[in-house]
Amino acid sequence: MSEIFYSIPDLRQLSYGTTIAGGVLLWIIEGLNPFFSKEKPRTLHAKLNLSLAALNLLILLPSGILMAFMLDWSKNIWPGIGILTLHPVAKAIVIILLIDLWMYVWHRLNHESAFLWRFHSIHHSDPTLDVTTSWRFHYIEILISELLRLPLFMLIGAGIEHLLLYSLLMTPVIEFHHSNISIPPTLDRLARLIIPSPMMHRLHHSTLRSEHNTNYGSMLSIWDRLFGTFLTRDNLDDLHLGLDNESDSEKQQLIPLLLRPFHP
């Protein structure tokens, strides 16, 4: 059954390539035209976040192969939205919208559940927001996410090609709205008509709970508008990033971050 996963290598490689190329490009632009001034060397910050990301790959890579097998198996038992006999393009659009809606719900649950917040707070404790923050997650959060989304994707009838296409579209958006690039306010306003803009997501990383419990969207900003979690403000001069009592330098190290969710 290995051919299931490798039958679409071009899309898979394009998805991975876009992730890497987008991250490198934004990293370069951040250095040339940053929104926030850096309080510590960029390389040290990137090293920590990329170390967390590397650990997550130990879960994501085998999970991707398992998901390809399971989605191929399940479509012979339950067609999901395929029961509607949609055109393949229409079906792909509906599935991608449903996946993005799930991403909104999952992100919001990570803020509203005390248990899930223990792990998601590692992402929010980053006091320096840049493109590498988009890859900074605790491995338990990644593990729970993978366990929950597999049956959901089987239920809606998604195929591995839909997940790869969603990743191809969504990942550059996530990298963009986490990035520390400075863009004109007009461009930010235009961007957030469709996607979460950098301004929106900077508010989401505010130390203020009233601000970081907003703007949960991953690829599209429509969900925040529909469900009342959309927040904007044009002046971010007084914005503080991170979490109170969790963003000190001694806590922003690999081992303390990995162990933090297990402490009272």
pLDDT in tens, 82-115: 888 889 899 999 999 999 999 999 999 999 999 9
pLDDT at 3: 40
| Domain encompassing residue 90 | 2-262
Domain count, the chain: 1
Cross-strand pairs, 181? 34
User: So what's the pLDDT on residue 9?
Assistant: 58
> How many residues does the structure list for the chain?
264
Count CB-CB contacts under 10 A for residue 235.
7
* pLDDT-based confidence at residue 248 (cuts at 50, 70, 90): confident
Q: Which two tokens stand for residue 191?
A: 């961007």
pLDDT of residue 75: 84
**pLDDT over threshold 80, residue 24:** yes
What is the distance between the alpha carbons of residues 79 and 204, in angstroms, rounded to a whole number?
37
Please report which residue ranges of the chain form alpha helices under DSSP H.
2-6, 9-32, 42-74, 88-112, 114-124, 139-156, 160-178, 185-191, 198-204, 209-212, 222-226, 254-259
d(CA 198, CA 191): 9
- Find, among 3, 106, 120, 16, the residue nearest to 61 by Cα: 16
- pLDDT of 8: 56
**pLDDT at position 32 over 70:** yes
Percent of the chain with pLDDT over 70: 95
* For residue 169, pLDDT beyond 90: yes
Q: What are the tens digits of pLDDT across the range 179-208?
A: 999 999 999 999 999 999 999 999 999 999
Question: What is the distance between the alpha carbons of residues 63 and 68, in angstroms, rounded to a whole number?
Answer: 9
Write down the mean pLDDT value for the chain.
91
